[in-house]
Structure 1
Amino acid sequence: MVRNRSEERTGFQESGPYHPSYDLQADFVMVYGIDDKMPQRIQQWREHGYIVHLMTGVAWGQYQSYLNGDVDGRRHWDEAQTDRSGERIIHGVTPDIPYMVPTISYTNFLASRIRLAVDAGVEAIHLEEPEFWVNGGYSEAFKREWRLYYGETWIPPHSTPDAQYRASKLKAFLYTRSLDRLCSEMKDYALTAYGRDLRFYVPTHSLINYTQWRIVSPESRLIELPSVDGYIAQIWTGTARTPNVYQGVRQERTFETAYLEYGIMQELVRGTGSRMWFLHDPIEDNPNYTWSDYRVNYIRTVTASLLHPAVSHYEVAPWPRRIFQGKYPSDEDSGSRINIPQDYATTLLNVMHTLGNMEQDHVIMEDSTEHIGILLADSAMFQRMKIGEAENVVQSKYDGTDSSALASEDDQELLDFSPFYGLALPLLKHGIPVRPVQLDNVRRFAHYLKDYRVLLLSYEYMKPEYPDLHYALVGWIRDGGALVYVGDDSDPYHTVRAWWNEGDMKYSSARVHLFEQLGLAGEGAGVYRAGKGVVSYLAQSPDSCASSVEGADALRQIVIETLELLGDPDYRWLPKHYYQMRRGPYLIASVLTESIADTPLQVTGPVIDLFDPTLSISQDIQVHPGEQAFLYDIEAGRPPSGEVACIAASSRIESLTVSESGFSFGVKGPEGMPAVARLYSPHEPVAAELSINGLIEAIPYEWDEATGTVLLNYRHISGADVVVNVKWTL
């Protein structure tokens, strides 16, 4: 468990000054916000051993000086994102923090602010949430940008599918341009002024969530910017609990949604060398759930993230101050608000420190079926407005905190995002390991699809932005890939001005062009050979696969037929009602509801439950439907005979020293929080002590002879040199 902070495996963001009550002892901290006290906050965290980054909003923030003209003498309120009724789109509830159109002027203003953080010596900068709402695009600044980009007069985005699609493409371009300018200029400034290499990252929601919530963001476009070094995948209960529809039932499916969200973010950087941190949030932005609700959904999202082993870096919490100092509804009396229960706090610390050890070489997905991909493109964000409504209808802005904000059934239908979930959930719910695959990356990276033999595709909720995507797909299929296409060509966005219907291209949809390249022009629904591969065509709208049991069964059946014709023994239809993976000594499992069985998954021990604040040992564990497990296999992780090793702890372990008479280790963590640690010990202890600046006090311990491990209970004390001593002899 001892590790170097420079690896930056775990971090958190915090807008407040350093405080011992939320000192999580991660590797790095992202000091949030650029204000007069920013240099002081940076220095405080650095003095407590942290690598310090800066995070700030790129789409919104405390930027009133710019908006009011104090910066350059010109008011910039016309650069606020505006809906079709003329209302500004506001972040939060205060009217003076609008979401911004990222003009060049606004970008220059942000650069002047960020330069202050560079001067303060931060090692990396995170430009958070480049977001342009789909219901925006009506401000004067956006109209000017439209004219510059398209060379034509602005068209109201709600007027036609083409106008909406083009408006959204422009929104993605504007934030890509802004981030490229900001990151490139600030990297040059840091190197020129200080001889320092500066890193830039973009914390962003997943492509799935932004599409679902109807927000446009650059997403995969940022991969093409050499000035951007990676991402934080902002996935948490607030995004993953957004309801979706499966077999006609709309409800929260937090684990399944998070699994898909983390999956597309892992795919976003696969093979690029860019850094990705997965975010978890022990609570969420909505402050009205109970502590037990937060805990259950936190466990679901953490488990979902751990099932994607290509990522082993984590933002362990946003805003630890609100977690460890905030008050939320009590489980017993939701009318009263209380601080975090101590058992939940200890569980969080156990998990957070274990996350720093997830880069394991030995990974086994306990499933003989390889992953099946579902292609998803950035263009899914571009067609998220219903066209043809009355002039006075304004579709809702939904940010995950208030479902009552949905103004109409159309809003609810868009939020469901059923065309995508209709392809994903029928397979995922039967235990088939599906993963969203970034279609845009097919043309960016040679052999991007080599790890997949089966892909699902529909152009009913997205479009291929370039024709060479089809040439790459056709080559992949003819070399032995299997493509399952689902769609009925009914999407009104097939008519947008695009490569498949301009110039010499006269195709009614991009699907028709793809099928022509495959030699299947005019073919109806069915399963066909194409070279060494297979093409299957389910000629129905993908949202019909979400709306009923029959629709879900139809999708599953054509996938089964595709696999049978493909004939690859590694790709078989082997349904189950759980997911299970080993990452070194760690075992991760989730048992599904609405699946093919309702029996528990049996796990044989001895294992340690890392979600249990007592780090209990079990010989057998039953994981029931709707439950998740994060376990440590004691025998798989056992060190060589006679060695002491830490299995898990709710502290940062600073050192581990072993002598003939026992062992000791330094511990750090949030002030006053109860802490536990379980370690392998070659001998039974006779005493355990806590040394606080040299003052000794006895602490409780439990010896488990069967496993040769000892459990220690102690407390965190800030501002002191705290060492745990375990003695084998007195």
Structure 2
Amino acid sequence: MENTRLAEKTGFQERVAYHPTIDLRTDFVMVYGIDDSMPKRIKEWQGRGYVVHLMTGVAWGEYQDYLYGEVDGREHWDEAQKNRFGEIISHGKDVPYMVPTIAFTNYLTERIKVAVDAGVEAIHLEEPEFWVEGGYSEAFKREWQIFYKEAWIPPHESVDAQYRASKLKAYLYTRCLDRLCAELKEYAQVRYQRTLRFYVPTHSLINYTQWRIVSPQSQLLSLPTVDGYIAQVWTGTSRTPNVYNGIRKERTFETAYLEYGIMQELVRGTERRMWFLHDPIEDNPNYDWDDYRNNYYKIVTASLFHPAVHRYEISPWPNRVFNGSYPKKNGQGKEAIPPEYATSLLILMNTLRDFDQSEIEWVGKMAPIGVLLADSTMFQRNHPDILGEDGSQKYDGTDAEMLKGDKAQELLDWSEFYGLTFPLLKSGIPVRPVQLDNIRRFSSYLDDYQTLILSYEFLKPEAPDIHLGLSQWVQNGGRLLYVGDHSDDYHHVREWWNSNGSSYENPAEHLFETLGLERKLEQGTYPVGNGIVSFLPLHPKACAQNRQNAELLKDTVRQLFSTNDWEEKNYLLLKRGPYIISAVMDESLSEEPLKLQGVYVDLFDHHLPIRKEVVVQPGKQLLLYDLNYRTTKQMDCQVIASSSRVENIVNDGSEIDMLLTGPLGIPGISRLRFAKKPSKIRIKENAQDGYQDIRFVWDQESQTALVRYENKHDGINMKISP
């Protein structure tokens, strides 16, 4: 029988040993950490039928033996990331963030060989992160001299020094990953004659920029040794407050939608794999279950609006989800996960294996509009005149009061980006972040887009040939809006547009010239070949500060379209095969709910009810299975949704057999579709028991049966008689 787990559509990461309560029946599991218990943990999960990977931190971890000189006789605390005050940037006691030196890379390589010896099929090197506030350790100073062939300059002294320090930080982690992955792939081939895969679980470019962290991001596309990524997007990243119409607050769905969007760009058009991460709770243990659940639905919905990805990490640390306790809503003590939420989680986790659908349809006139981003957004996240003497701290989005003063808070809001995206997204226009750097890597990268928005007020182009690609795209019929007032102080860093004979005041001047326009362009719209270029001399952050500027941006974009091609609404709606993904915006054109009529299964309801009319209120999301959707393959039994993994379906003509498995102690529920009502359904819970009749609820209109039972990690056998 074909092993369906080899597709690795869903997985999770866990540091604890196997336990029936966290046996989520995904395709693979990432055993976390490379301590002495790792080989045993790997064997346990392999014994339960999982494809086993290993995950470990590449920027931090339990690496005290290296730090204290037990590995090579030399202490390596000089390689810990430090801020301008000489303070170590830490992830925990004796767990600093590291400068990825050659010695540290070699150490990681040797440590991870143990996992290769234990038989894992893939390695995940988590979170290559260098804090913006870092760059002051002795190891970094040495790397600066080697890379730039000049004496180290304190990054806080100027925007040029900050920009150069950040470029070096990204390079160092790119080098580290390339060396480590290449050596271990060779090791696996030579010693075991097998192919070892490497993946990089990483936050989004959007989150790293807002939290002020530098990471390689799209630079990893240049490494053939990297096979893919996990998009580490979850409530903890996406609830980071941002500003729209001058109001600062959490906008979890909208932020997650944009975060997943830019992560999709790391694999679009390539053969690399991407898993989108969801977390049913988050790292902060101080919220109640209602908060976790509401935000989880927002995160899942946001991820499903990006159909180029159909693989998911369904949970980090399921042990803390299914076996943990969190504050009660009344603040009186803690409570374990409510059974109905646990059931809902399993329904969604099992449904996520089915999103590799060929039929994709956006509901509405508007094709996606791209907003260009680049790795250099991470390089511009320190301004000496803003943060000053008391602002040198790492910011992870959890402490809104960490940096004092209006200018510091404005820096953390990162309104330059949200100002270009929220006015459109809140109007139901499917905005997509697009990786500017990829124009150099893939000749047809922009072909999927008709309209792009660009600003160099918060990012810079890596090389001038990017403008050649943009110019060709416009001449072939593309519509480009450039937004910016040329006020960014990072225009004056030492870069290609103002060095080696070039004398452009900012990179936009080179872009305009490449397009055949005047360097000093006036506001307006200009034909370029078969396309259009529009220039709005406004700083992008102004579009987040009030409604007037947001409307000005939207009106400028609208002018690039014909009347018949433009449509605004207060919702997004996407169909992926039989699945309907919907989100209705608050802060939008109206407070009208979205109403849908048909025959649906509500996948956010743990009862899996049949609904003929669905109403989605502003600020809410919904995931439905459309029972009127007709697949091309006729089936005598179709699993519509289940809180169990349903496998080994066999129809011998007289009855249908199937196996249902799920974590111990969580209620089981399945909605199954048949050609006609079954005469009876029976289950066998243990090998030594016989089959027992079980009650089911039949819905004639949808031709579905609803069955309830108790999940078991060893499985339940079910027989359906016609």
| TM surpasses 0.5 | yes
Q: Which amino acid aligns with 1:727?
A: S
Is 1:252 the counterpart of 2:250? The answer is: yes
Q: Which amino acid aligns with 2:552?
A: A
Alpha-carbon distance between aligned partners in 2 of 1:686 and 1:661, rounded to the nearest angstrom: 12
Match of 2:474 in 1: 477
Alpha-carbon distance between aligned partners in 1 of 2:169 and 2:571, rounded to the nearest angstrom: 40
Structure 1 residue ranges (4+ consecutive) displaced by more than 4 angstroms after TM superposition: 637-642
Change in 2 beyond 3 A, CA 1:394/1:406: closer
Measured against aligned partners, the alpha-carbon deviations of 1:592-622 in whole angstroms (never above 9, x if no partner) come to 1111121111111210001111110011111
Change in 2 beyond 3 A, CA 1:641/1:174: closer
Displacement after TM superposition at 1:330 (Å):
2.1
Alpha-carbon distance between aligned partners in 1 of 2:630 and 2:721, rounded to the nearest angstrom: 23
Displacement after TM superposition at 1:479 (Å):
1.6
Alpha-carbon distance between aligned partners in 1 of 2:320 and 2:20, rounded to the nearest angstrom: 13
Is 1:636 the counterpart of 2:633? The answer is: no
Is 1:339 the counterpart of 2:363? The answer is: no
Of residues 214, 218, 221 in structure 1, which corresponds to 2:219?
221
Alpha-carbon distance between aligned partners in 1 of 2:587 and 2:179, rounded to the nearest angstrom: 48
Alpha-carbon distance between aligned partners in 1 of 2:635 and 2:646, rounded to the nearest angstrom: 20
Displacement after TM superposition at 1:654 (Å):
2.0
Match of 1:577 in 2: 570
| Percentage identity across paired residues of the two chains | 55
Change in 2 beyond 3 A, CA 1:549/1:269: same
Match of 1:287 in 2: 285
Match of 1:724 in 2: 718
Alpha-carbon distance between aligned partners in 1 of 2:588 and 2:459, rounded to the nearest angstrom: 28
Alpha-carbon distance between aligned partners in 2 of 1:225 and 1:231, rounded to the nearest angstrom: 12
Does the residue aligned with 1:158 lie in a helix, a strand or coil? Answer: helix
Alpha-carbon distance between aligned partners in 2 of 1:395 and 1:597, rounded to the nearest angstrom: 42
Is 1:66 the counterpart of 2:59? The answer is: no
Match of 1:270 in 2: 268
Displacement after TM superposition at 1:3 (Å):
7.2
Match of 2:352 in 1: 355
Does the residue aligned with 1:443 lie in a helix, a strand or coil? Answer: helix
Q: Which amino acid aligns with 1:350?
A: I
Question: Does the CA-based 8 Å contact 1:350-1:651 persist in structure 2?
Answer: yes
Displacement after TM superposition at 1:557 (Å):
1.1
Does the residue aligned with 1:73 lie in a helix, a strand or coil? Answer: coil
Q: Which amino acid aligns with 1:466?
A: A
Measured against aligned partners, the alpha-carbon deviations of 1:177-222 in whole angstroms (never above 9, x if no partner) come to 0000000000000000000100000000110000010000000000
Root-mean-square deviation (CA, aligned residues, Å) is 1.5
Displacement after TM superposition at 1:329 (Å):
1.6
Alpha-carbon distance between aligned partners in 2 of 1:8 and 1:390, rounded to the nearest angstrom: 45
Change in 2 beyond 3 A, CA 1:335/1:637: farther
Alpha-carbon distance between aligned partners in 2 of 1:275 and 1:236, rounded to the nearest angstrom: 19
Displacement after TM superposition at 1:390 (Å):
7.7
Q: Which amino acid aligns with 1:525?
A: Q
Displacement after TM superposition at 1:662 (Å):
3.7
Question: Does the CA-based 8 Å contact 2:89-2:134 persist in structure 1?
Answer: yes
Is 1:517 the counterpart of 2:514? The answer is: yes
TM-score by length of 2: 0.97
Match of 2:189 in 1: 191
Greater shift, 657-666 or 709-718, is seen at: 657-666
Measured against aligned partners, the alpha-carbon deviations of 1:346-404 in whole angstroms (never above 9, x if no partner) come to 11100011100100111111122111100000000001002235863233322233334
Does the residue aligned with 1:405 lie in a helix, a strand or coil? Answer: coil
Displacement after TM superposition at 1:553 (Å):
0.8
Change in 2 beyond 3 A, CA 1:3/1:339: farther
Does the residue aligned with 1:490 lie in a helix, a strand or coil? Answer: coil
Alpha-carbon distance between aligned partners in 2 of 1:402 and 1:358, rounded to the nearest angstrom: 36
Match of 2:584 in 1: 591
Question: Does the CA-based 8 Å contact 1:57-1:127 persist in structure 2?
Answer: yes
Q: Which amino acid aligns with 1:649?
A: S
Q: Which amino acid aligns with 2:240?
A: T
Match of 2:483 in 1: 486
Change in 2 beyond 3 A, CA 1:686/1:68: same
Match of 1:554 in 2: 552
Measured against aligned partners, the alpha-carbon deviations of 1:506-546 in whole angstroms (never above 9, x if no partner) come to 01100111112223222211111112111111101100010
Q: Which amino acid aligns with 2:74?
A: R
Alpha-carbon distance between aligned partners in 2 of 1:724 and 1:665, rounded to the nearest angstrom: 5
Change in 2 beyond 3 A, CA 1:391/1:550: closer
Q: Which amino acid aligns with 1:112?
A: E
Alpha-carbon distance between aligned partners in 2 of 1:72 and 1:118, rounded to the nearest angstrom: 22
Match of 2:456 in 1: 459
Number of equivalent positions: 718
Does the residue aligned with 1:562 lie in a helix, a strand or coil? Answer: coil
Alpha-carbon distance between aligned partners in 2 of 1:639 and 1:666, rounded to the nearest angstrom: 24
Displacement after TM superposition at 1:705 (Å):
1.2
Is 1:27 the counterpart of 2:14? The answer is: no
Does the residue aligned with 1:108 lie in a helix, a strand or coil? Answer: helix
Alpha-carbon distance between aligned partners in 2 of 1:662 and 1:591, rounded to the nearest angstrom: 44
Question: Does the CA-based 8 Å contact 2:83-2:392 persist in structure 1?
Answer: no
Q: Which amino acid aligns with 2:522?
A: G
Match of 1:123 in 2: 121
Match of 1:372 in 2: 369
Alpha-carbon distance between aligned partners in 2 of 1:216 and 1:319, rounded to the nearest angstrom: 25
Alpha-carbon distance between aligned partners in 2 of 1:463 and 1:42, rounded to the nearest angstrom: 44
Displacement after TM superposition at 1:170 (Å):
0.2
Of residues 668, 686, 706 in structure 1, which corresponds to 2:701?
706
Match of 2:674 in 1: 681
Does the residue aligned with 1:352 lie in a helix, a strand or coil? Answer: helix
Of residues 106, 109, 128 in structure 2, which corresponds to 1:108?
106
TM-score by length of 1: 0.96
Q: Which amino acid aligns with 2:84?
A: R
Change in 2 beyond 3 A, CA 1:389/1:608: closer
Displacement after TM superposition at 1:700 (Å):
3.4
Question: Does the CA-based 8 Å contact 1:372-1:435 persist in structure 2?
Answer: yes
Alpha-carbon distance between aligned partners in 1 of 2:402 and 2:225, rounded to the nearest angstrom: 38
Q: Which amino acid aligns with 1:214?
A: R
Displacement after TM superposition at 1:435 (Å):
0.3
Question: Does the CA-based 8 Å contact 1:237-1:283 persist in structure 2?
Answer: yes
Alpha-carbon distance between aligned partners in 1 of 2:634 and 2:375, rounded to the nearest angstrom: 52
Question: Does the CA-based 8 Å contact 2:391-2:403 persist in structure 1?
Answer: no
Question: Does the CA-based 8 Å contact 2:31-2:55 persist in structure 1?
Answer: yes
Alpha-carbon distance between aligned partners in 2 of 1:353 and 1:319, rounded to the nearest angstrom: 17
Of residues 626, 634, 642 in structure 1, which corresponds to 2:619?
626
Alpha-carbon distance between aligned partners in 1 of 2:650 and 2:446, rounded to the nearest angstrom: 48
Of residues 581, 606, 611 in structure 2, which corresponds to 1:613?
606
Alpha-carbon distance between aligned partners in 1 of 2:386 and 2:436, rounded to the nearest angstrom: 31
Question: Does the CA-based 8 Å contact 1:484-1:559 persist in structure 2?
Answer: yes
Displacement after TM superposition at 1:236 (Å):
0.7
Question: Does the CA-based 8 Å contact 1:396-1:407 persist in structure 2?
Answer: no
Is 1:80 the counterpart of 2:75? The answer is: no
Of residues 416, 421, 425 in structure 1, which corresponds to 2:418?
421
Q: Which amino acid aligns with 1:216?
A: V
Change in 2 beyond 3 A, CA 1:639/1:516: closer
Q: Spell out the pairing of 1:82-101 with structure 2 (5 A cutoff).
A: 82-91=82-91, 94-101=92-99
Displacement after TM superposition at 1:474 (Å):
1.1
Q: Which amino acid aligns with 1:74?
A: R
Match of 1:171 in 2: 169
Q: Which amino acid aligns with 1:25?
A: R
Is 1:651 the counterpart of 2:644? The answer is: yes
Q: Which amino acid aligns with 1:603?
A: L
Alpha-carbon distance between aligned partners in 2 of 1:508 and 1:116, rounded to the nearest angstrom: 53
Match of 1:435 in 2: 432
Is 1:241 the counterpart of 2:234? The answer is: no
Match of 1:38 in 2: 38
Change in 2 beyond 3 A, CA 1:446/1:55: same
Does the residue aligned with 2:615 lie in a helix, a strand or coil? Answer: strand
Is 1:496 the counterpart of 2:493? The answer is: yes
Question: Does the CA-based 8 Å contact 2:240-2:398 persist in structure 1?
Answer: no
Does the residue aligned with 1:89 lie in a helix, a strand or coil? Answer: coil
Question: Does the CA-based 8 Å contact 2:427-2:589 persist in structure 1?
Answer: yes
